[in-house]
Chain A
């Protein structure tokens, strides 16, 4: 009898501590210090949403207007804050709508944890309502993914997901949770993940290799640093700046490296790549040592590989072993976290200056200024240019804002002409080139850095791919500034058609709606500029506004972005007109 009583007591006690899988999802997120997630509810994820309702004081959920917007918002959040972005969506179409953003995060190394609902485990594989094999679909575009079918797996898998997403070279992780696992009750306990035996996120820096690198650097006559996002992801801005200043080596950036070193720094000499600056591209093929730091030799950076920096000794600082020798054969691969390798290297090298070599940059800069920049920033023609618009933005942000860009001509203009004084200030879709990225990414960027000014600069094409997120901005009263550079064309494609397809403008001209009216429909302050005399005032009003603000600038319809390395050609064949 006594024994039975005891047993009953035990049973009721353990019953008290049982929670549902859905609640465990929330508690696991809270254990990872998550306080914000982007998502969209639906059938297979409803148990988790029900718990979200209960925990809404602790966990802020932002309801987007399309799941793709949730992924880009989480990317913007991750990029402006340096934390992991979290996304939640339902099964089937909810899950497939995440794929573009996940792919973008994978190629641009952005840490995301995406949670999708799935049909109950007994229905898996039966083509149930809103069932899709999101594990199969997302495999090639995630750093890791996992399907949970038992509630007891939830805490350890979420812990592993956060560890994988943010460690080493960051990336997106997807966790698919069947509906029965969300309902199932179990005893919850949480332990953060601190290692996985098959996974080495931070390869050790080899001191001998650092020594060898320092000898090469000390002997260099015309060295060049090309830096990428690795400096930002490795939180190595300070170490990088110290290295640049002691070594005296001119530093140029890839599109994702932008803002890791202030644009006004005397050794920051511009952008490499297809629409980068003239000097950095031409001199890539004249330097004697090329130090590639936290970048991956994307084809938009290298142009024709057969003629890329063949004369130079190449030193590649990289955390991901599979990137070394992937596109460009290097002389020394310096594996490891650049925060560590750069500080070690800085202590070994001699302090130097390369004034003669830097003069060569200045000489070519002047050519670019005369042929391109002058007309972009101070045009004499009637139509407004993208360049003068960006230059006006700089005037009022003073380089302190986060600039979020989409993909196309406006993106190149914004990256070429924006000024930055702080890191994590340039947020754009680099590797994947996802039109529609900027508007939702700006939402996340603002929430990841609420005290900073966030300006989304978008073309008229990309803007309409995710325009519905104006609803998210309106509902959450997010003071995001939206600057649409409207040329009534898919401008970059049109430019290629003009240059390489004999001006056959196939499906690139757009008949656009009244963007100002649309923004006002969402109760967002809106304005349009068509003439130069109104530009300065309108941009001032936009930047200084405390509320969300939409500004459309009608720019010249058929302007081109120069310089330009034609696709597949050598970086030294960069064209100025």
Chain B
């Protein structure tokens, strides 16, 4: 694959997704960035906004194995990663054979992830970060590309288990889904309540995704741009001597270095999607929100002031000079 084809391919993917997903343009873009960058995505939104549909469509367009795990409080880790089951072999001997869980797919939809117990949630940790699963002392590699697209409902908090910081940090992006506009809603209704032959088709395959990822890794980042991204991440820490006032006031805990990795990694993909061969400050700013919003933990003061993560990140961006 030629690097000049990168934006063309991405455009093709987006076009196919747009056949089934109305609106959510920015969400789609960010999901694609995460997919190409090889990161996991946490989608947060009220039910019915098309989160599951988006993931399913994405799986079809990217021609990836797709599995969906509906997280419930009684879901066990083995239900996610798989387990060894006793089976008879050809000679009639009883042997343990690994029964792969739904995680062994290219694209895993972890629906309502915050409903599962922390034990089950943590079963995803290794898979998300290392792309491997260890069961019965044996480590198994997950198929590549491998992504976890988790969803969570921000409204229903009863009977949920908020994701621990360590697990949140393993998501490349946290995307917030908003209600569609009236026009979008019209289009959604027309699409879903009528007969439509225009369904999303395969645009690329898994191998192409991996190639796109390799190309994205080559995108150069100028020193001032990288410096800007890193300073932005550093500025999320309230206890550092040079941290801005907004961080001191509203941030309880800043981003880990994974936040910086996420920003640079995803900014490279965005640059290529824009047809550029270098990362710009705009790329950094664009991906800073989904990369940092689940890594910046707000203080009680921020909550009492009605600030959300995006507001604080916006102020942090303003406080960081190019």
Do A and B bind? no
What is the interface of chain B, defined by CB distance below 8 A to chain A? none
What is the interface of chain A, defined by CB distance below 8 A to chain B? none
